[in-house]
Homo-oligomer: A and B are copies of this chain.
């Protein structure tokens, strides 16, 4: 026995982290495993199924925070943002089975079916948009740095009173925006 299904999913997540969703091809996953592309089809019927299994693993990190729907959504967001393109992977897979996932059931027990659906769609969508923006900003910052890095580096910038990088500011604002939207929905549920 050379590779299990779990090995395939792990390899796929490694490729996702290294190359992003666009670069996460069946051929590259096979190469990561040291195997021919066709070998993957012994473990998985198609790429879509592999992506769904990856989504399950990404989201499995949000297992705690049982009782509180707000904490649960925040944990879900954190789990998605912790993996490169994680929100895209989860959101795409989720569209296929909303109404049938274990996550939704657990949330539905707390706030009802409509509330759970609303919270999840918002959480997935906001995380997806956040990750897209942060990624684009990081790329832009990289390009600016390549064009001409700031003299003195971060230490000098901090001494000049710029204690937070623009990226950190954007990240904090997006997190706050997420929280406000969450509170709007939770208020509507009462």
Among A103-145, those with CB < 8 Å from B are 114-115, 117-118, 121-122, 124-126, 128-129, 132-133, 136
Q: How many copies does the complex hold?
A: 2
Using CB atoms, name the residue of chain B closest to A117: B181
Interface pairs A-B: 8 shortest CB-CB: A188-B188, A121-B125, A187-B188, A184-B188, A118-B181, A98-B129, A114-B180, A125-B125
Interface flag for A96 (CB, 8 Å): yes
Q: Which B residues are CB-close (under 8 A) to A1?
A: none
Q: Mark A58-101, 1 if CB is under 8 A from B, else 0.
A: 00000000000000000000000000000010010011101100
30 A-B pairs with CB atoms under 8 Å apart are A91-B125, A94-B129, A95-B125, A95-B128, A95-B132, A96-B136, A98-B129, A99-B133, A114-B177, A114-B180, A114-B181, A114-B184, A115-B184, A117-B177, A117-B181, A118-B181, A118-B184, A118-B185, A121-B122, A121-B126, A121-B129, A121-B181, A122-B122, A122-B125, A184-B188, A185-B185, A185-B188, A187-B188, A188-B188, A188-B189
Q: Which B residues are CB-close (under 8 A) to A188?
A: 183-189
Do B132 and A122 touch across chains, with their CB atoms under 8 A apart? no
Bound: A188/B88 CA distance, A: 27
Using CB atoms, name the residue of chain B closest to A98: B129
